Amino acid sequence: MAGRAVVVGAGIAGLSCAVRLRERGWSVRVLSDVAVHGSTSHLAAAVWFPTRSGPRNKVLDWGGRTFGTLAAQARAGVPGVVMRESLTLYRHEPGPQWWAAAVGPVRPARPDELPPGYRHGLRFAVPLVEMPVYLPWLAGEARRRGVVLERRRVTSLAEAGADADLVVHCSGLGARSLAGDTSVTPVRGQIVRVVNPGLALSVRDEAHPSGRAYVHPREHDCILGGTLDEGVWDTTPDPAVGAAIVERCHDIVPALRGAPVIEHVAGLRPARPEVRLEAEPATAERPRVIHDYGHGGSGITLSWGCADDVAALAGPGDRG
């Protein structure tokens, strides 16, 4: 008989955990008060790159395994996943990058590959995930494997686990109420979507004098970002902030000038001093709980590696 697992949250963390639990033989239900397209994950720019998450050694491990999974999905033609050539820009010569051990070859950019005003850059390839395409595919893949996705507001982990042997908690900012974890805070991110004028290279400058700047080309649009607004709950896009994002993205990719703006979007990343991935034993009120939340701006980057560890903590679902 299969053990019964309930996953709270239908973003990338919850869905990847659901798939991994099914692979271990668990019967799985996913509970979420929003549809997949309403999740924070759906808004993500979703290029592999560790951002606002820790601890570094675990992020490198989770990120490396996620890189491998997404790269394999890109090779297999999974909808919305491609390997994207990337350029990270620096105003001073960069030393060794701690995240480089998780990716393939990293080389210095040639002078002809750099925009005006830059003397240094690194070139490498990483997975890019077009979330409006990939998340529905992943939800469909979970259903195909027998996972039940249910729209339902969860008020406590005890309620979620009332008829279960295991609760996997992936609620992001919801952990403030569901787990009483006030160390989880929003990091607001504003982005701008523009028409893709034919770009294929992902470019970023994490230390641009006017704020973070990144340009991630997708099939029909480009995601321009962005902000890391600590502790801000408001998701109303600020037109002035959007205009500033566009301007600094023109600095790093001059070919974007004149690209029509499609929309301005803001979302809330669920950040924590460190990702919480750990198990808690059963109590009189609820079954065993495995927490997986607090990924900050690295939800996609850490998703499958964290899901691997959740499944390992859960153990085999077949109870004989």
To the question of domain 4-314 being in CATH 3.40.50.720, the answer is: yes
Per the DSSP assignment, residues forming a β-bridge with 122 are: 88, 108
35 phi/psi in degrees, rounded to 5: -70, 165
Residue 291, judged by CB atoms within 10 A of its CB (0-12, 13-18, 19+), counts as buried
Q: Which residue in the block uniquely carries the two structure tokens 């994207």?
A: 84
Q: How far apart are CA 9 and CA 26, in angstroms?
A: 17
pLDDT (average), residues 132-158: 96
Cα 316 vs. chain centroid, distance in angstroms?
26
Q: Is the pLDDT of residue 319 over 90?
A: no
Q: What's the token pair of residue 156?
A: 């406590």
Residues 71-97, mean pLDDT to the nearest whole number:
96
Average pLDDT over residues 186-202: 96
Kindly indicate the confidence band of residue 269, based on its pLDDT and cuts at 50, 70 and 90. Answer: very high
Q: Return the bridge partners of 191, or none.
A: 225, 265
The residue with greater pLDDT, 104 or 204, is 204
| CA-based nearest residue to 20, from 5, 41, 1 | 5
Confidence of residue 177 (pLDDT cuts 50, 70, 90): very high
CA distances from 251 to 115, 125, 203, 243 (A): 8, 22, 11, 13
So what's the pLDDT on residue 34? 85
Question: Which candidate, 280, 271, 281, 279, places its Cα nearest to that of 302?
Answer: 271
The Cα 314–Cα 21 span in angstroms is: 8
Structure tokens at 250: 């023109």
| Residue 275 and residue 295 in contact, taking contact as beta carbons nearer than 8 Å | yes
- Give the SS3 label for residue 145: coil
CB 203 within 8 A of CB 42: no
Closest Cα to residue 300, out of 238, 223, 201?
A: 223
> What digits encode the pLDDT tens for the residues 223-233?
999 899 999 99
**Is a pLDDT exceeding 80 seen at residue 26?**
yes
- Closest Cα partner for 137 from 78, 90, 93? 78
Neighbour tally for 105: CB within 10 Å? 8
Q: What pLDDT, on a 0 to 100 scale, did the predictor assign at position 320?
A: 52
Kindly report the CA angle at 278 between 273 and 282, in degrees rounded to 5?
135
Rounded to an integer, the average pLDDT of 101-109 is 94
Distances 97 to 2, 128, 236 between C-alpha atoms, Å = 44, 20, 34
- pLDDT tens digit string along 149-175? 999 999 999 999 999 999 999 999 999
pLDDT at 246: 98
pLDDT tens digits for 44-72? 778 999 998 999 999 999 999 999 999 99
Say what the pLDDT of residue 282 is: 96
**Are 311 and 16 a contacting pair, CB within 8 Å?**
no
Is the CB of residue 195 less than 8 Å from the CB of residue 225?
no
